[in-house]
Amino acid sequence: MSRIMKLDDIEAVHSLPEEWQREAITRLAEKMTDRSAKFPCIPAVQGHAMNHFRYGFIQKGEAQEAAEQLALMLGEFGSRSRELGAYTSLVVWILTEPSRENLEGIEYYERLFWQLLSRTTEYDTEPWPAELPEDPADHLWEFCYAGEPYFVYCGTPAHELRQSRHSPYMMLAFTPRWGLKQFNARVRQAEHTKVMIRKRLAEYDPVPPHPDLKFYGAKDNYEWKQYFLRDNTTSLSKCPFARLHKEIR
C-alpha cells in the first residue's frame, strides 16, 4: 500500500480519514490558488496546479515511529519522483502536541524539525552521494535520503510574520534537486522567475525576506539555513543535523 497520495479532486480530499488532514490539504489549496495574495514560490504554485505534488501525513510528530514513517515516504517518493513531473515535491503534514506548541512556539518546531531529519537517517540504507559533502558547514551540503538530494521547506502554525512559512499544521516539503537543476538550466527563464519570487515574497510577508535566503551554489549560501526560517532575522549558528547525525550513527 502506498504511503504517499495524489489529491487532485475534491472527492479525494473528502475521503481523507481525519478532519485535520482535510483541513491541511484544503488550506494548502487555498494558499496555492489565492489570486489576491499570490504565494511567492512560483514553481510550487505550478507543481500544485499540475498535480505533480504527492502528500503524506504523520499522526504524532514527537513519537519515535515518526522518523520511520517519514523515511518510508521519502523512500517511496524518491523511487518514483522522476515519473511525477518537473515540479514535483513531497508534502508531509505532521500532527504535534498542542500543549507543546503553545508553550514553546517556533523554537519547539525548529528542534522537532531537525530531530526528525536526523532520526530519519537511521533508516537510510543508501550511501551518501559521493558528489555531495556530508558536512553541513560546506556550502554545497544539502539533505539527502536514499541517494537523492532535496531542498527541504518547513512551515508551522507558530509562524505569524512570515506567512510564506505559515501552515495550520507542521508541514515539510521535499523538492528533489534534479527538479531544481532542470529549472535552473533554463537560465533566462529561471532568472526572471527568481526576480518575480523575490517581488512576491516582499508583498506576501509583512517582514523583509530573511537574510539567509540566498542562491544554491553561492559560497555565502547554506541550504540548511533556508530549511527552517524563523519569524525574525536570527538563525542557528551551527546546523543541528551534523551533531544529531553523528550521535545516531
pLDDT in tens, 83-125: 999 999 999 999 998 666 566 689 999 999 999 999 999 999 9
The answer to whether 55 and 7 are in contact (CB under 8 A) is: yes
Number of domains, the chain: 1
Closest to 144 (Cα-Cα) out of 44, 245, 31: 245
The answer to whether residue 130 is domain-embedded is yes
Give residue 193's pLDDT.
96
Each residue of 23-52: pLDDT tens digit?
999 999 999 999 999 999 999 999 999 999
The answer to whether residue 147 is domain-embedded is yes
Produce one character per residue of 35-72: b if its CB has 16 or more CB atoms within 10 Å, e if not: eeebbbbbbbbbbbeeebbbbbbbeebeeeebbebbbe
Cβ within 8 Å of residue 1, ≥6 positions away? none
The answer to whether residue 122 is domain-embedded is yes
The answer to whether residue 3 is domain-embedded is no
Give residue 64's pLDDT.
87
The answer to whether residue 178 is domain-embedded is yes
Bridge partners of 150? 143, 176
Give residue 1's pLDDT.
53
Cell numbers standing for residue 96: 504535534
- The domain containing residue 228 runs over which residues? 10-248
Give residue 17's pLDDT.
86
The answer to whether residue 2 is domain-embedded is no
Give residue 243's pLDDT.
46
pTM of the entire predicted model: 0.94
For the chain, helix, strand, coil in percent to 5 are: 45, 10, 40
The answer to whether residue 4 is domain-embedded is no
Query: CA angle, corner 93, sides to 217 and 25, nearest 5?
Result: 105
pLDDT in tens, the chain (249 residues): 567 888 776 678 778 889 999 999 999 999 999 999 999 999 999 999 999 999 999 999 999 899 999 999 999 999 999 999 999 999 999 999 866 656 668 999 999 999 999 999 999 999 999 999 999 999 999 999 999 999 999 999 999 999 999 999 999 999 999 999 999 999 999 999 999 999 999 999 999 999 999 998 888 999 999 999 999 999 999 999 954 444 544
The answer to whether residue 226 is domain-embedded is yes
Give residue 207's pLDDT.
97
Give residue 246's pLDDT.
47
